[in-house]
Amino acid sequence: MLINEISKILKYIFPKLMWKNNKLEIEKTIYLTFDDGPTPEITNYVLDLLTKYNAKATFFCIGNNIKSNRELAQQILKNGHKIGNHTMNHVNCWHVNANEFFNEYQLCENEINSLGTNSVGFRPPYGRINRFVYRKLIHYTPIYMWSFISGDYNRKNNPNTILKSAKKNIRHGSILIFHDSKKAFPILSIILEPILEYCSQNNFQFKTL
Ligand SMILES: [Zn+2]
Protein backbone atom coordinates (compact mmCIF):
# COMPACT_ATOMS: atom_id res chain seq x y z
CA MET A 1 0.00 0.00 0.00
CA LEU A 2 1.51 3.31 -1.02
CA ILE A 3 -0.48 5.81 0.91
CA ASN A 4 0.24 5.33 4.55
CA GLU A 5 -3.02 4.63 6.27
CA ILE A 6 -2.16 5.54 9.80
CA SER A 7 -4.25 3.72 12.31
CA LYS A 8 -6.14 5.95 14.71
CA ILE A 9 -6.02 3.09 17.18
CA LEU A 10 -2.21 3.08 17.16
CA LYS A 11 -2.19 6.80 17.84
CA TYR A 12 -4.56 6.26 20.73
CA ILE A 13 -2.58 3.40 22.31
CA PHE A 14 0.82 4.99 21.73
CA PRO A 15 0.17 8.73 22.00
CA LYS A 16 3.83 9.78 22.01
CA LEU A 17 4.83 8.11 18.74
CA MET A 18 5.75 10.84 16.27
CA TRP A 19 4.09 10.51 12.88
CA LYS A 20 5.15 13.97 11.79
CA ASN A 21 7.61 16.41 13.23
CA ASN A 22 6.10 18.71 15.80
CA LYS A 23 8.95 21.21 15.75
CA LEU A 24 7.56 24.60 14.95
CA GLU A 25 9.43 25.52 11.80
CA ILE A 26 8.43 28.74 10.10
CA GLU A 27 9.59 27.68 6.66
CA LYS A 28 8.02 24.82 4.72
CA THR A 29 10.05 21.91 5.98
CA ILE A 30 10.14 18.18 5.38
CA TYR A 31 12.18 15.45 7.03
CA LEU A 32 13.75 12.80 4.82
CA THR A 33 14.65 9.60 6.65
CA PHE A 34 16.62 6.60 5.37
CA ASP A 35 16.37 3.28 7.19
CA ASP A 36 18.50 0.11 7.25
CA GLY A 37 21.93 1.47 6.20
CA PRO A 38 24.64 2.37 6.07
CA THR A 39 25.13 0.31 2.90
CA PRO A 40 28.25 0.79 0.75
CA GLU A 41 27.53 2.48 -2.62
CA ILE A 42 23.84 2.91 -1.88
CA THR A 43 24.32 5.25 1.07
CA ASN A 44 27.00 7.03 -1.00
CA TYR A 45 24.48 7.46 -3.80
CA VAL A 46 22.00 8.97 -1.35
CA LEU A 47 24.63 11.26 0.20
CA ASP A 48 25.62 12.61 -3.22
CA LEU A 49 22.01 13.37 -4.12
CA LEU A 50 21.40 15.06 -0.78
CA THR A 51 24.44 17.27 -1.35
CA LYS A 52 23.22 18.15 -4.84
CA TYR A 53 19.90 19.37 -3.40
CA ASN A 54 21.41 20.95 -0.29
CA ALA A 55 19.25 18.59 1.75
CA LYS A 56 19.82 17.36 5.29
CA ALA A 57 18.35 14.01 6.35
CA THR A 58 18.18 11.50 9.17
CA PHE A 59 19.55 7.97 8.82
CA PHE A 60 17.99 5.31 11.07
CA CYS A 61 20.93 2.92 10.99
CA ILE A 62 21.19 -0.73 11.92
CA GLY A 63 23.92 -1.05 14.57
CA ASN A 64 25.64 -3.94 12.82
CA ASN A 65 25.76 -1.97 9.59
CA ILE A 66 27.47 0.88 11.44
CA LYS A 67 29.94 -1.61 12.86
CA SER A 68 30.77 -2.96 9.37
CA ASN A 69 30.80 0.44 7.67
CA ARG A 70 32.17 2.91 10.18
CA GLU A 71 33.73 5.26 7.64
CA LEU A 72 30.47 5.52 5.79
CA ALA A 73 28.62 6.20 9.04
CA GLN A 74 31.15 8.95 9.80
CA GLN A 75 30.60 10.35 6.32
CA ILE A 76 26.87 10.68 7.04
CA LEU A 77 27.73 12.83 10.07
CA LYS A 78 30.45 14.81 8.27
CA ASN A 79 27.90 15.77 5.61
CA GLY A 80 25.73 17.33 8.31
CA HIS A 81 23.09 14.60 8.60
CA LYS A 82 21.90 12.90 11.77
CA ILE A 83 21.81 9.26 12.81
CA GLY A 84 18.99 7.48 14.61
CA ASN A 85 18.66 4.04 16.20
CA HIS A 86 17.06 1.15 14.27
CA THR A 87 18.27 -1.68 16.63
CA MET A 88 21.49 -3.67 16.37
CA ASN A 89 20.09 -6.44 14.12
CA HIS A 90 16.81 -5.07 12.72
CA VAL A 91 14.76 -6.97 15.24
CA ASN A 92 11.01 -7.35 15.01
CA CYS A 93 9.63 -6.42 18.42
CA TRP A 94 6.76 -8.88 18.02
CA HIS A 95 9.27 -11.75 17.97
CA VAL A 96 11.33 -11.05 21.11
CA ASN A 97 10.54 -10.02 24.66
CA ALA A 98 10.84 -6.42 25.87
CA ASN A 99 14.20 -6.97 27.59
CA GLU A 100 15.75 -8.57 24.52
CA PHE A 101 14.41 -5.75 22.42
CA PHE A 102 15.74 -3.13 24.79
CA ASN A 103 19.14 -4.82 24.62
CA GLU A 104 19.01 -4.52 20.82
CA TYR A 105 18.21 -0.83 21.22
CA GLN A 106 21.07 -0.36 23.68
CA LEU A 107 23.64 -2.16 21.49
CA CYS A 108 22.75 0.08 18.57
CA GLU A 109 22.90 3.12 20.83
CA ASN A 110 26.45 2.11 21.83
CA GLU A 111 27.47 1.88 18.17
CA ILE A 112 26.08 5.34 17.49
CA ASN A 113 27.81 6.76 20.57
CA SER A 114 31.09 5.19 19.43
CA LEU A 115 30.93 7.47 16.39
CA GLY A 116 31.07 10.42 18.77
CA THR A 117 27.45 11.42 18.40
CA ASN A 118 24.06 10.81 19.98
CA SER A 119 21.09 9.19 18.33
CA VAL A 120 18.32 11.66 17.43
CA GLY A 121 15.65 9.06 18.10
CA PHE A 122 14.43 5.57 17.48
CA ARG A 123 12.50 4.00 14.64
CA PRO A 124 11.15 0.49 15.24
CA PRO A 125 12.05 -2.03 12.50
CA TYR A 126 9.01 -2.88 10.33
CA GLY A 127 7.23 -0.03 12.14
CA ARG A 128 6.20 -2.54 14.77
CA ILE A 129 5.78 -1.66 18.39
CA ASN A 130 3.98 -3.11 21.37
CA ARG A 131 2.95 -1.77 24.76
CA PHE A 132 5.91 -3.21 26.67
CA VAL A 133 8.54 -1.85 24.32
CA TYR A 134 6.75 1.48 24.03
CA ARG A 135 6.50 1.95 27.79
CA LYS A 136 10.17 1.20 28.26
CA LEU A 137 11.66 3.09 25.32
CA ILE A 138 9.61 6.24 25.57
CA HIS A 139 11.58 7.20 28.71
CA TYR A 140 14.83 7.05 26.76
CA THR A 141 14.17 8.31 23.27
CA PRO A 142 11.74 9.98 20.91
CA ILE A 143 10.16 7.33 18.66
CA TYR A 144 9.69 8.43 15.07
CA MET A 145 7.19 6.83 12.74
CA TRP A 146 6.39 8.60 9.43
CA SER A 147 3.77 10.46 7.47
CA PHE A 148 4.76 9.21 4.02
CA ILE A 149 6.14 5.76 3.30
CA SER A 150 7.71 5.53 -0.14
CA GLY A 151 7.33 1.77 -0.51
CA ASP A 152 10.79 1.64 -2.11
CA TYR A 153 11.45 -1.74 -0.42
CA ASN A 154 8.79 -3.51 -2.51
CA ARG A 155 9.84 -4.00 -6.12
CA LYS A 156 6.25 -4.62 -7.13
CA ASN A 157 5.44 -0.98 -6.43
CA ASN A 158 5.22 1.24 -9.46
CA PRO A 159 7.63 4.21 -9.24
CA ASN A 160 5.17 6.48 -11.08
CA THR A 161 2.45 5.71 -8.57
CA ILE A 162 4.86 6.45 -5.72
CA LEU A 163 5.75 9.80 -7.27
CA LYS A 164 2.10 10.76 -7.73
CA SER A 165 1.37 9.78 -4.15
CA ALA A 166 4.36 11.77 -2.89
CA LYS A 167 3.20 14.92 -4.68
CA LYS A 168 -0.27 14.50 -3.25
CA ASN A 169 0.73 13.75 0.33
CA ILE A 170 3.91 15.64 1.17
CA ARG A 171 3.30 18.73 3.26
CA HIS A 172 4.96 20.93 5.88
CA GLY A 173 6.19 18.75 8.75
CA SER A 174 6.03 15.46 6.80
CA ILE A 175 8.45 12.69 7.71
CA LEU A 176 9.30 10.67 4.59
CA ILE A 177 10.72 7.18 4.83
CA PHE A 178 13.10 5.59 2.32
CA HIS A 179 15.65 2.78 2.64
CA ASP A 180 19.35 2.97 1.79
CA SER A 181 19.48 -0.78 1.30
CA LYS A 182 20.25 -3.08 -1.64
CA LYS A 183 16.69 -4.33 -1.64
CA ALA A 184 15.25 -0.84 -2.06
CA PHE A 185 17.79 0.53 -4.52
CA PRO A 186 16.04 -0.41 -7.80
CA ILE A 187 13.08 1.77 -6.80
CA LEU A 188 14.94 4.30 -4.66
CA SER A 189 17.22 5.14 -7.58
CA ILE A 190 14.16 6.01 -9.70
CA ILE A 191 12.10 7.98 -7.17
CA LEU A 192 14.50 9.83 -4.90
CA GLU A 193 15.76 12.49 -7.28
CA PRO A 194 12.32 13.40 -8.69
CA ILE A 195 11.00 13.74 -5.12
CA LEU A 196 13.93 15.98 -4.17
CA GLU A 197 13.36 17.98 -7.34
CA TYR A 198 9.63 18.35 -6.68
CA CYS A 199 10.16 19.43 -3.07
CA SER A 200 12.88 21.91 -4.03
CA GLN A 201 10.69 23.46 -6.70
CA ASN A 202 7.93 23.80 -4.13
CA ASN A 203 10.28 25.57 -1.72
CA PHE A 204 10.49 22.89 0.94
CA GLN A 205 13.56 22.91 3.16
CA PHE A 206 15.00 19.49 4.01
CA LYS A 207 16.03 19.27 7.66
CA THR A 208 17.13 16.63 10.13
CA LEU A 209 14.89 15.43 12.94
ZN1 LIG B 1 14.13 -1.19 8.76
Query: Residue 40 belongs to a domain with what CATH number?
Result: 3.20.20.370
Model confidence pLDDT, tens digit, residues 65-112: 999 999 999 999 999 999 999 999 999 999 999 999 999 999 999 999
Is the residue at 58 inside a domain? yes
| Helix locations, 3-127, DSSP H | 8-13, 42-52, 63-68, 70-78, 98-114
* CA–centroid distance, residue 179 to ligand 1 (Å): 7
Which residues constitute the domain of residue 91?
A: 27-153+165-206
| Domain count of the fold of the chain | 1
Q: Which long-range contacts link 40-44 to residues 24+ away (Cβ below 8 Å)?
A: 40/69, 40/72, 42/180, 42/181, 42/182, 42/184, 42/185, 42/188, 43/69, 43/72, 43/75, 43/76, 43/180, 44/72, 44/75
User: In this structure, is residue 13 part of a structural domain?
Assistant: no
With CA atoms as reference, report the closest residue to 152 among 185, 176, 110, 130: 185
The secondary structure element, H or E, covering residue 184 is none
Question: Residue 26 Cα, ligand 1 centroid: separation in angstroms?
Answer: 30
> How far, in Å, is the centroid of ligand 1 from the Cα of 53?
25
8 assigned to some structural domain: no
Residue 4 falls within a domain, yes or no?
no
Taking the centre of ligand 1 as the mean of its atom positions, its distance from the CA of residue 126, in whole angstroms, is 6
Distance 137 CA to ligand 1 centre (A): 17
Residue 48 lies inside a defined structural domain of this protein? yes
The answer to whether the beta carbons of residues 175 and 144 sit under 8 Å apart is yes
Q: What is the mean pLDDT of the chain?
A: 93
CA of 173 to the centre of ligand 1 (A): 21
Distance 70 CA to ligand 1 centre (A): 19
Amino acid found at 91: V
* pLDDT tens column, 23-59: 766 789 999 999 999 999 999 999 999 999 999 999 9
Q: Say what the pLDDT of residue 115 is.
A: 98
Q: How far apart are CA 93 and CA 201, in angstroms?
A: 39
Give distance in angstroms: CA of 205 to centre of ligand 1: 25
Distance 125 CA to ligand 1 centre (A): 4
Distance 112 CA to ligand 1 centre (A): 16
Percent of the chain at pLDDT > 90 equals 86
Task: With cut-offs at 50, 70 and 90, classify the pLDDT of residue 11.
Answer: confident
Predicted model pTM: 0.93
CA 55 – CA 122 distance, rounded (Å): 21
Q: Is residue 70 part of a domain?
A: yes
State yes or no: pLDDT of 1 exceeds 70.
Answer: no
User: What is the Cα–Cα distance from 192 to 45, expressed in whole angstroms?
Assistant: 10
Q: How much is the average pLDDT of 116-129?
A: 96
The closest of 91, 95, 74 to 83, measured between CA atoms, is: 74
Distance of CA 78 from the midpoint of ligand 1 (Å):
23
